Structure 1
Amino acid sequence: MTIVITPRTIVGQLDYDMAELRAAATEHAALLESLGPVPDRDETAAAAAAAAHHVLRRLRRQFLRRHLAVVYGTATDDLRRGLRLSALAAAVTVLYPGLLPSTAQVHADAAVAQPAKEGWEIDQGIFFQAVFADPVLGNHLLDAMRAPTEAALDLLADFRATGSITLPAARLERSGSTSTITITNTECLNAEDNQHVADMETAVDLVLLDPETRVGVVRGGVMDHPRYRGRRVFSAGINLAHLHQGKISFLDFLLGRETGYIAKILRGHTEDAARWPAVPTTKPWVAAVDSFAIGGGAQLLMVFDRVIAATDSYVSLPAAQEGIIPGVANLRLGRSANFRLSREVILWGRKIWATEPEARSLIDTVAEPADMDLEIGKAAARLASPAVVANKHMLVVAEEPQDVFRRYLAEFALHQALRLYSPDVMAKTERFDRKAPR
């Protein structure tokens, strides 16, 4: 039986448009089911699926242009409550059937490797592009993402009492007025995965919430990997094996890390509008780079107030070679360095050693490996000065207003989702997947 996709148009009347969108999504799902699983489709079936996706995505974008404010307002009780990315997507899925992929469709994609997915994250990217492009709604969502997580609130009393919390991929310890997050994803050289992002946000929240902590430090743990056994490593960037296996979440990782823990390191928690006097909710942060900061690790350095690196370490952003967009580095590297260097690093894949002159754009202090602890302590002591918080807040306001970040995210949300399903990304990440056929 041939499934016919009925031509449909959004006219601007909410009830009519909802019915059209729901019917289109139903036809679309029936067509995909008739074509079989993604890996089993021949060229004709793959082309039919791609054409159907194009039609539905175009209709979804038209609907969002007309009704985004109503959709977002309904989901958030007219902006009276903030929802995180996943919670917002889940609420909209229920309230406006057809506007986003169904829960069953999202779960089915989450269970298979990246090449076997239908690509529903592109549809999520379309939705969040529209939200971030709107100044009121986009900032409301960003503020919701910078609120403390429930996981951190549940652990706060324990951390205040003991000064130590151990999570699956990170460890947090307080010493005096400094709290240090040690990344402990050691089996993969501190590569970033879903667990790592969740644990980093919990730890960052605890640093910001703890009244005894004045400065936060992030450093990589000691490796048990054969090549780096006994050495510290800052970060190997995104776990490309997990990406190929389909285990990297678009919402919770690729969008969530930028709008969650990284945004909190840069801007702090969302301010309480009812609190007076208004006090910045941010704190100063130090990054300590041992061995290397690759990809996401290099991106992370751009939001820290002080970066200390060992003389034998290097920084690189190979995202263009991997096929994806390196988070917000395309916005931030040109600001901290210059546009020629940002193109050389991002587009050309240049590796920068800590001792090179160009490293000054990313690194403040270069120390011998044996002196790293001393330099970290000196930086933390200096940043504990009472005037630092207010001045950091004003520096961020001047350098990267949230509206600049929001507009960047609107483009990033869609284009990163599209890159995830590009043939070159599939081919490049496969070699990092130990489970992939050789």
Structure 2
Amino acid sequence: MRADLGSARTALTAAAVHAEEVLGLLPAPEHRTQEQRATAAEATDSVRSLRAVFLDTHVDAVYDELTEARTRHLRVAELASAAAEAFPGLVPTTSQLETEGIRAQAGKEGREIDQGIFFGKVLGSPLAGPHLLDAMLRPTPRALAILPEFTRTGRADLGSVRMERTDGVARLTMCRDDCLNAEDNQQIEDIETAVDLALLDPAVEVALLRGGEMTHPRYHGKRVFSAGINLKSLHGGGISLVDFLLRRELGYIHKILRGLVVEDGAAWRPRTVEKPWVAVVDTFAIGGGAQLLLVFDHVIAASDAFFSLPAAKEGIIPGAGNFRLSRAAGTRLSRQVILEGRRIWATEPQARLLVDEVHEADALDEAVERSVERLRGPAVVANRRMLHLAEESAYEFRRYMAEFALQQALRLYSSDVIHKVGRFTAEKEAHR
């Protein structure tokens, strides 16, 4: 098997080098003629087919080599970097990604598709996949570095997220007032750190997430939960498959649902630290904001709030929203929301499939305090664990994410997405 892996690795590297030579003779992607685009597609398709076959045969051997027989827990970015070094041609190198990173989405080669192939095969493996999920449920180094100060003061300003612990409640406030809490790579970094801190701090019993007050002219002084993915960043090439789309789903959202993996304690005890989570929706929860609500234990909304998953309009896949919304709201409503762009208002009867309570804006604060008090019960954590096991198995989630890794990568570089986000950005700039 090792001999087979060695010869296959050599063949893959040679094929990748040849594909790069072909691309190197062509103009930048946005300047290619139709014939040149066909030449590039033929070269990339050929080597991608070889990558897929290589991983179908050797994915577990590759993963074991990268993780030293699953004794090292590498996060998705670390794993991709290690794979690029150990298996040349399997995934893009750091320098290739840096070159892509400074280009607008329309000007990229689409190298993240190769990462999508890689992570799809890794997550699909019954050996490698669970180990990667486990690695992504561990606390980040940034959170561990900040934890002593947070436990001492009960406060942390992480940039796009502020935290305050009061009376056993970790209150997380999303404060990207420049973009209505639209998510980008930096916000994913900050909110995962905040989630880790809330789960690691022994003084925290319940965690609460809410949007802060905005400075946007249309929403000045109003709280907003989330505008979803930052389409301006997507058009500018700033939304990455690994650091945003995969990290988001496998990192902080999965941690809210399933808890944080820790190594302390006896081997027979649960390895995760879990806590109940409450979300408060002011104004709207669009796209990723609506997806996020599906993993919370209790959701409170203002009476004038609305929810939407404009995936079809944006042209991308709404994270694990397809996976979780059907369970929460049923298949018919899920299709209306995801495929047809239906907007759900908090006052509609169907909204009760997504939220637990709806109140006038001036009654939200009192409703929040009642909710966090109810979730302090000593049996809450054990019962939420059992509910999640019944509702969403780790096996089903892993299978979904394996397909998501590839399909989302393909969507990122589809012509309709590039056209849509470019048009969106141009319209936004024209209305400034």
TM-score when normalising by structure 2 = 0.97
Contact 1:336 1:361 in 2 (8 A): yes
Q: Which residue of 2 aligns with 1:141?
A: 132
Shift of 1:16: 1.5
Deviation track 1:189-237 (CA, whole Å, cap 9, x = no partner) reads 1100111110000000000000000000000000000000000000000
Q: 2:275 aligns with which of 283, 288, 295?
A: 283
1:293 maps to 2:285? yes
Deviation track 1:333-377 (CA, whole Å, cap 9, x = no partner) reads 010111000000000100000010000110000011001111111
Q: Which residue of 1 aligns with 2:315?
A: 323
Q: Is there any run of 5+ residues in structure 1 with no aligned partner, and where?
A: 1-9
CA distance in 1, matches of 2:429, 2:392: 44
From the superposition, tell whether residues 145 and 11 of structure 1 become closer, same or farther in structure 2 (CA, over 3 Å).
closer
From the superposition, tell whether residues 39 and 209 of structure 1 become closer, same or farther in structure 2 (CA, over 3 Å).
same
Residue type of the alignment partner of 1:245: G
Shift of 1:36: 2.1
Deviation track 1:90-147 (CA, whole Å, cap 9, x = no partner) reads 1111111111122221111111110000000100000000011112211100110010
Q: 1:433 aligns with which of 422, 425, 432?
A: 425
Shift of 1:186: 0.8
Q: 1:242 aligns with which of 224, 233, 248?
A: 233
Contact 1:242 1:433 in 2 (8 A): no
SS at match of 1:355: coil
Shift of 1:276: 4.3
Deviation track 1:21-60 (CA, whole Å, cap 9, x = no partner) reads 1111111111101012111211111110011110010000
Cα RMSD of the aligned pairs, angstroms, is: 1.6
Contact 1:146 1:264 in 2 (8 A): yes
Contact 1:284 1:383 in 2 (8 A): yes
Contact 1:100 1:123 in 2 (8 A): yes
CA distance in 2, matches of 1:119, 1:79: 30
Shift of 1:277: 4.7
SS at match of 1:171: strand
1:350 maps to 2:319? no
Residue type of the alignment partner of 2:163: L
Aligned residue pairs total 429
Q: Which residue of 2 aligns with 1:262?
A: 253
Deviates more, 1:267-276 or 1:84-93: 267-276
Q: 2:122 aligns with which of 131, 137, 140?
A: 131
Q: Which residue of 2 aligns with 1:251?
A: 242
SS at match of 1:135: coil
Deviates more, 1:263-272 or 1:206-215: 263-272
Q: Which residue of 2 aligns with 1:80?
A: 71
Q: Which residue of 2 aligns with 1:379?
A: 371
1:45 maps to 2:18? no
1:215 maps to 2:223? no
From the superposition, tell whether residues 52 and 12 of structure 1 become closer, same or farther in structure 2 (CA, over 3 Å).
farther
Q: Which residue of 1 aligns with 2:299?
A: 307
Residue type of the alignment partner of 1:93: A
Shift of 1:151: 0.5
CA distance in 1, matches of 2:265, 2:404: 32
Deviation track 1:280-308 (CA, whole Å, cap 9, x = no partner) reads 41100000000000000000000000000
Q: Report matched runs for 1:128-207 at 5 Å.
A: 128-207=119-198
SS at match of 2:139: coil
CA distance in 1, matches of 2:69, 2:135: 14
CA distance in 2, matches of 1:389, 1:58: 45
CA distance in 2, matches of 1:11, 1:437: 55
Contact 1:194 1:253 in 2 (8 A): yes
Contact 2:60 2:127 in 1 (8 A): no
CA distance in 1, matches of 2:243, 2:299: 26
Q: 1:413 aligns with which of 390, 405, 419?
A: 405
Shift of 1:274: 6.2
Q: Which residue of 2 aligns with 1:7?
A: none
Residue type of the alignment partner of 1:428: K
Contact 1:12 1:66 in 2 (8 A): no
Shift of 1:19: 1.2
From the superposition, tell whether residues 181 and 437 of structure 1 become closer, same or farther in structure 2 (CA, over 3 Å).
closer
Runs of 4+ residues deviating >2 angstroms: 271-277, 431-438
Residue type of the alignment partner of 2:47: L
SS at match of 1:99: coil
Q: Which residue of 2 aligns with 1:361?
A: 353
CA distance in 2, matches of 1:79, 1:429: 40
Q: Which residue of 2 aligns with 1:337?
A: 329
Shift of 1:432: 2.9
Contact 1:282 1:389 in 2 (8 A): yes
Contact 2:15 2:47 in 1 (8 A): yes
